Structure 1
Amino acid sequence: MNTVLQSSYLSHRIIGFWFLILCAMVVIMVVLGGLARLTHSGLSMVDWHPITGWLPPLSNQEWLLIFELYKDTPEFKKINYGMNIEEFKGIFWLEYIHRLWGRIMGLALVIPALFFLAKGWLNAAIARHLVIIFVLGGLQGVLGWWMVKSGLIDNPDVSQYRLTSHLLLAVIIHGYIFWLALSFLGLNGQNLYNGLIEIRLLQFLTLSTCIVIFLVMLSGGFVAGLDAGMIYNSFPLMDGKIIPDGLWSIKPWYLNLFENVTMVQFNHRILGIICSILVISTWLVAQRNKSKELSRHPFNLLLVLIILQIVLGVSALIMSVPVFLASFHQVNALLLFTCALWCLRSVKV
């Protein structure tokens, strides 16, 4: 009986760490995607072959063929018309690695899953989760190509709607896998009995924090898609005002939320401030809780990450969005969301 229990415990730990590896791979994928956008590399590959497109160009003739395809894009005609083939290779490789990493992630999901299935470690419930992850991963690939296509027609910029959808699906996939990892590693939190009202408050604040961080990332997607971080490069004021002019300049009014660069940046700032207040409030309530069963490590980490996120966001804005800071700001947002999920799990929600 003990041997069976030990075997079950070991298999769950291995699967849990496998899920954490997949989470780390998603984080790397988000970094690569962000860098492709920031360096204007994302439109260098004008076709998509998910099954056969593993290999890069291997001959000079293949490079010339791909470059000719790129020359027919709005980005080349309107922006990069003076680019030579060596410069083209510079933007091609980053997008290629981004796509290749997605295929490697597919293998990192399927091959271990088949091994665990052969070992008898996967029951029906786990298998369903793996199928969902696989389907979401495939959908993410389709969504990524749908996003790229929007920049290959007339406008050399991808749709901010499609870019944000692509980003948020990555966040959802990452969060889903991380939630499973916490379960398999036994990091579910304990039943917290001391101070029931305080626990309910902490649960509410933690759940609210997760939701608001997700909304901040949503607004960040629109900031990225519209290059809204390139204007109003001051903080805390925007053009010397708390509430800038031009927030409602587009008709109908609701389009301002998604297409007006002033409104999009303003919303991102406001949501960031709300998120910061929520995180600090959550941390304070967690520190005041007297329950010995409550782990405070995730809440302490959450506080550190929100402080870092504020510094990164303000610095990136003031410095007109340098690639390194913008990329760091994006990945730290994902880590912040991850930590918030850990906090949520620790209070048994």
Structure 2
Amino acid sequence: MTMASPTAFASSNGSSSADETARARRAVRIWLWTIAIFIVAMVIVGGATRMTESGLSITEWKPIHGVIPPLSEAEWQEEFLKYQKIPQYSQMNADMTLSGFKTIFWWEWAHRLLGRSIGLVFIVPFAVFAMRGWIRGGMLPRIGVLFVLGGLQGAVGWWMVASGLVERTEVSQYRLAIHLTFACAILAATVWIAEGYREGRFAIRENHALRRFAGFLVLLVLGQIFLGGLVAGLRAGLIYNTWPLMDGSLLPDGLWTMAPAWLNFFENHKTVQFVHRLGAYTVLAMAILHYIQAHGEAMASETIRRSGWLVLAIMTQAVIGIVTLLLVVPIELGLLHQAAAVGVLVLATAHWRRLSPPTA
């Protein structure tokens, strides 16, 4: 009878362990990317609720009971009466019918339901993976923090909605920009962790300067998204719909009409749009510089390709933004502009992550 050698057993066990580890890493990565896709959808649906003026249609925050929409005519009338008590109804939609209210209600309800769904899609696999030992060590608290941030994002969303229920007919542009940027920051963190579980394809031999520049680009994109939130909150994209000139000039007058001066960056429609334009130019210029840097210093051709794709994505987003502005922000292009911005963020984050060591 022939007996297998100890070396053969060790090799077999080692191969089995490696296969199990690879399966675990792949499962965690797919799950985290699924979460990221949900967040992208959440951002896009959130943009639709804003552009359809639906965000204030639900005037209460009910994290549990709010899952169930109105099921009877009496319940619909009750929700409609609540909406009729806020300034947006009396000042903008006093002629709205119950049918019209249902339209904006469903947008906001879908937005909130999607947010709740993300929590469920997160917590169940997280618990299973943790129990099986597929998420362990320092990664447990890091991934767990994503769940906490998601819950906090829900509270930030209600804080935003509450700003439009008493004295305003829309939400505060400050709170809208914070809500949007916070969602995108959670998305970037999710992509960062997900890409850390990717097998191979990490250009960890690239120099620190290249890695730092890639991280700087992610911060720039997040900053530009914040500026876009201010533009959206002020409806500043509905005015000065020319390019490259703005109000007939490259450097328009009226940028500093408010006092103190810093207020212009947040409440002056012209200044907010102008700064958003400058932000787009800056992001594109920095991406081109990063591409040039990668050509001169990158050791991996994949790093150069990714930096080139990033430039192309930012250029595409810039074109979409210009067309959206020139056409006075039709809803389809407005949502495409927002979706493309999120796509740029995902690409920039994945590029940065692949310049760092993978998750152990």
Name the TM-score class by shorter chain: over 0.9
Alignment of 1:186-335 (within 5 A): 186=199, 189-192=202-205, 199-289=207-297, 291-292=299-300, 294-335=302-343
Deviation at 1:122, TM superposition (A): 2.4
Deviation at 1:341, TM superposition (A): 1.3
* 1:32 partnered with 2:45: yes
Quote the RMSD (CA, aligned, Å): 1.6
Deviation at 1:201, TM superposition (A): 4.5
Deviation at 1:120, TM superposition (A): 2.5
What SS does the aligned partner of 2:292 have? helix
Shift in CA distance, 161/21, structure 1 to aligned 2, threshold 3 Å: same
Extract unaligned runs of 5+ from structure 1.
194-198
Cα distance in 1 for residues equivalent to 2:219 and 2:24 = 32
**Is 1:192–1:293's contact at 8 Å kept on the other side of the alignment?**
no
Amino acid in the other structure paired with 1:142: A
Deviation beyond 4 Å, 4+ runs, structure 1? none
- For normalisation by structure 1, the TM-score amounts to 0.94
What SS does the aligned partner of 1:296 have? helix
Amino acid in the other structure paired with 1:63: W
1:270-307 deviation line (CA, Å, top 9, x unaligned): 11101111112222332444624643342232122112
Cα distance in 1 for residues equivalent to 2:326 and 2:135 = 50
Cα distance in 2 for residues equivalent to 1:305 and 1:56 = 39
- The count of corresponding residues between Structure 1 and Structure 2 is 344
**Is 1:222–1:258's contact at 8 Å kept on the other side of the alignment?**
yes
* 1:5 partnered with 2:18: yes
- Aligned mate of 1:91, from 73, 88, 104: 104
Residue 32 of structure 2 is matched in structure 1 by: 19
Alignment of 1:58-73 (within 5 A): 58-73=71-86
Extract unaligned runs of 5+ from structure 2.
1-13
Alignment of 1:42-57 (within 5 A): 42-57=55-70
Cα distance in 1 for residues equivalent to 2:301 and 2:18 = 24
Residue 339 of structure 1 is matched in structure 2 by: 347
Deviation at 1:188, TM superposition (A): 6.5
- For normalisation by structure 2, the TM-score amounts to 0.92
* 1:348 partnered with 2:356: yes
**Is 1:316–1:326's contact at 8 Å kept on the other side of the alignment?**
yes
**Is 1:189–1:294's contact at 8 Å kept on the other side of the alignment?**
no
Cα distance in 2 for residues equivalent to 1:323 and 1:54 = 27
Deviation at 1:8, TM superposition (A): 1.3
Identical-pair percentage:
35
